[in-house]
Amino acid sequence: MPAPDPLTPRVTLKPLLEFTPAEWRTLHGFFRNRELADWNDAKPIRMPEWLFRRVMQEEERTGERHGFGIMNERGELIGSAELYDLRPSAPLTATAATLGVMIGQPALWGQGYGREAVHALLRWAFQERDTPLTRIRLTTFGHNRRAQRAFLACGFREVGRTAREGRMDVHMELTRTGWLALRASPGGPDGAQ
């Protein structure tokens, strides 16, 4: 078990394949929620929980994604964090991925749980994974400045913007080299706490 990280005092990540039936029901509820789906530029899922579970487990087993539940300090599932769109695709060894994070309980938004989950996922992807990734990217809505500030605080940098019908998308990325340098620097996230 890795040493406790001062950047993630309240959050741990639990692999999806280790979920209990109750945790699957909770996660399914998050993905059925219209408000959460809107923030993820998706539609609420309509599939039954048993099928949702089967699809997610299959994607985990085939290496299409690496998904985790975000567990709070009481061991309760409060969201999900994942790496998807792995490049190159299996069976090749992935070096890049897209990050997705969701706090499923709106009452917890703005309290730092998402930022802690991102720090934990970056540590796993860049340090603990059998073959560490070299680059992680993400996209946020242009108007979601709270998410952008959180990602900037985790070390991401903006790399571009794309205008879409009715909105602007902000693209961000972080390299393993940049993450390691940030973790080692006196003013980096480890020293900022």
| Domain total of the chain | 1
- Which of 49, 54, 55, 2 is CA-nearest to residue 26? 49
Q: What angle do CA 173, 121, 133 make, to 5 degrees?
A: 55
Q: What angle do CA 52, 60, 111 make, to 5 degrees?
A: 75
How would you write the pLDDT of the chain (193 residues) with one tens digit per residue? 445 677 888 999 999 999 999 999 999 999 887 877 677 767 878 899 999 999 999 999 988 899 999 999 999 999 999 999 999 887 788 999 999 999 999 899 889 999 999 999 999 999 999 999 999 999 998 888 888 999 999 999 999 999 988 889 999 999 999 999 998 877 666 544 3
User: Using one digit for the tens of pLDDT, what is the confidence trace for 8-62?
Assistant: 889 999 999 999 999 999 999 998 878 776 777 678 788 999 999 999 999 999 8
Q: Does residue 124 lie in a domain region?
A: yes
Helices 21-32 and 49-61, interaxial angle, to 10°?
100
Q: Does residue 24 lie in a domain region?
A: yes
Q: Does residue 58 lie in a domain region?
A: yes
Lookup: tokens for 30? 């998050």
The CATH number assigned to the domain holding 85 equals 3.40.630.30
Q: Does residue 175 lie in a domain region?
A: no
Structural domain range at position 122 = 12-133
Is the separation of the CB atoms in 8 and 116 below 8 Å?
yes
Lookup: tokens for 81? 């964090």
Q: Does residue 43 lie in a domain region?
A: yes
